[in-house]
Structure 1
């Protein structure tokens, strides 16, 4: 190791590396678990309809099943933030997968709906944790020039879980029943758990908790993979080292304003998903469509999820985080205004498809890229966890508001709520948000003095 490298921080040494096979391995290990997280979040649509039709559940129990999913995810996101900063990313990540996978497989053998609801809460704990840790790990490993792209591609992997879940349900549930969906999700999670035993701990976290020798050994190994016998760029010797942080620091400048941005942003995104996207079949039925056609239209628009996430991944690096977020929100406002005005069902479906694209641009740009960059390494998971918990709380409350709004004011009322939420997002990000594009996360998110 050269004297230049010896004087550099762990973060500076990671930031100057080209993307190598090591980075792609980390990406793959995170992506496989995140895919099954997306698969399982959307599993409710296929499972609950079949369970109700067979007499296993009632409509009230189905509603409680959905609520417990989001209660578990809210609590899981919050707790994981503190556990991940205290015990490490890798250990926490493995714990959430084993909880989710075991509960999912047990759900396939649930003797009654009450047991299934309890198991769904446990699954929610694991699902909430997955989002917090997964995106943060990618943020801490990948260099600034491509960090947004690779983080956003993880979000694309998650959104691919929706069409995958719908397709597997269409193929398997009529023949094997709804329980097979839990087996698929659980086995997938346990396979991801086995694969992730090869996932390294974050060197930035190791440095933050004083395990310098382990951080040094890991980064030296990554450097050997990245160099491939050649010379590496010199690291930035001015970069600050990370150190243990206190949760109270999140309530002081400069982190308080960033915590507000994180909480508000994710509450808005969850309002868009659970106040509009998941209600699309109901909206189409209300416009006179059959169940089959409404489901087909909704599935078509769901394809906008991966497209939007991929665009968000590319745009975050190409145009900057704030510009991507504000532009996508503005486009969504325009399309949400046009959606209820259309009188032709094909045109309405086309507008709806276009509307899902900027919504999922926001999902990738906020969940995957922007929010994890707002907080320093020593407080990252706590900041991300609190922001995700706030966002998940919206997913609990918003569905309860949509039904009466839809009944009294129709689709226009729902889209008005979306428009107001998007305006709030634009104001908060433009006013309080920072621009982390192509910067070291240590430079973007310094700890309070």
Structure 2
């Protein structure tokens, strides 16, 4: 049990009114997510590489799978390092690694070299995404955590239409040989800028410091935050309502990975893993394969990039809608509903051949997909864990989710060659419906509950 010096970080952070502190954390995390778009350009880069003769469907599958394999290991490694050494240090470590790998990729001499670099790029990105999404929930108040998490997902996922627009612009002004290289350089430069800001302005998580027994450090950070908020609002902060569930945090801070395969933690691993499997299978199949699917249907490269760009504008629209309703609908209801819509709409989309219907239905499909991406990656999976195991739990689920991303590209390539795009969307639909059933069985309600209350595993 905690001693009398316990800072009760959760209760003190949850009582804070919305302030510049929250918007500062939001801006840093949101912009970091926005600029780490190395995965978002996967399909766009591959389309350029196919034009210059660097790749075919089999190599495309390997390229995609190596990236996903890297993200698998990154989620595991990043989660472990983040829970041990802190949120800020781990954030900056993998941000720098991601920048370096993007710059190295831009000067790749051949496809084999690029695929090796892509693995390490994926590793850095997998760790970075786990750290950013999971850590963010520790800074935001429980009353609006879902809305805040949806907001960073909204900002981060603008990377897809932005990088598509950049690729479309580059297609008009530079040759494919230079196009794909610049697509790596641009996000590397932008990520360097946000890393410098985070190094100076991003505080360590008081909840993490407290879970490690570093009460003095947690107290210092909390006092700075409270003074900043109090000065801004020019008022006395609300009374602290100490959550009794916080008292058990320190006792469990050193749990091993084996604990994740027992009891209620195992149920949360199953729940989070299936949610992220569905997200990865749908999102990354569409990101990496849509331009190739269009080319396979006889649509030329410029029109393929155009259609991909139009469809991708559904991403920020879907997440914007999610920000408006995330804290108004029970988590289980929202997850099951979105997965059902994705399954049905994807199947209908697969039969479309006209540019108009592909654009319209693709746009609405992306809206539903990215509402679920926001729900799964930014809100539900990060918030179902106690602080002492948050990054490891999120990392484990992300890693398991990535396994599907390693296997599925080869299945997609096979289906495209043998059945066509309808077979691909039937696969996506089955995945969505199975996940909806899992959420119905194992889902827990987290809406409006404190981090400490959700993390109380009895």
Q: TM-score, normalised by structure 2?
A: 0.90
Q: 2:183 aligns with which of 181, 184, 187?
A: 181
SS at match of 1:114: helix
Larger deviation, residues 290-299 vs 248-257:
290-299
Distance 1:65 1:333, change over 3 A: closer
Task: Check the 8 A contact 2:7/2:219 in 1, yes or no.
Answer: no
Q: Does 1:224 pair with 2:227?
A: yes
Q: 1:233 aligns with which of 232, 238, 260?
A: 238
Q: Does 1:204 pair with 2:204?
A: no
User: Equivalent residue for 2:325?
Assistant: 315
1:11 Cα deviation after fit = 0.5
Gapped regions of structure 2 (runs ≥ 5): none
1:346 Cα deviation after fit = 2.2
User: Equivalent residue for 1:304?
Assistant: 314
Give 1:287-298 correspondences, 5 Å limit: 287-298=297-308
Q: Does 1:86 pair with 2:84?
A: yes
User: Equivalent residue for 2:22?
Assistant: 23
Larger deviation, residues 27-36 vs 245-254:
245-254
User: Equivalent residue for 1:34?
Assistant: 33
SS at match of 1:446: coil
Task: Check the 8 A contact 2:42/2:287 in 1, yes or no.
Answer: no
Give 1:254-265 correspondences, 5 Å limit: 254-265=264-275
SS at match of 1:319: coil
1:245 Cα deviation after fit = 3.6
SS at match of 1:318: coil
Task: Check the 8 A contact 1:8/1:235 in 2, yes or no.
Answer: no
Deviations along 1:211-251, whole A, 9 cap, x unmatched?
A: 00111111122112223331222222233222214133222
Distance 1:406 1:104, change over 3 A: closer
Q: 2:163 aligns with which of 147, 165, 171?
A: 165
Partners of 1:128 and 1:420 lie apart in 2 by 25
1:286 Cα deviation after fit = 4.6
Q: TM-score, normalised by structure 1?
A: 0.92
Distance 1:348 1:182, change over 3 A: closer
Partners of 1:167 and 1:211 lie apart in 2 by 46
RMSD of equivalent CA atoms: 2.3
Partners of 1:7 and 1:104 lie apart in 2 by 43
Partners of 1:324 and 1:221 lie apart in 2 by 37
1:89 Cα deviation after fit = 0.9
Deviations along 1:373-406, whole A, 9 cap, x unmatched?
A: 1110000000100111111121111111112223
Give the length in aligned residue pairs: 442
Q: Does 1:213 pair with 2:216?
A: yes
Task: Check the 8 A contact 1:40/1:161 in 2, yes or no.
Answer: no
SS at match of 2:138: helix
Gapped regions of structure 1 (runs ≥ 5): none
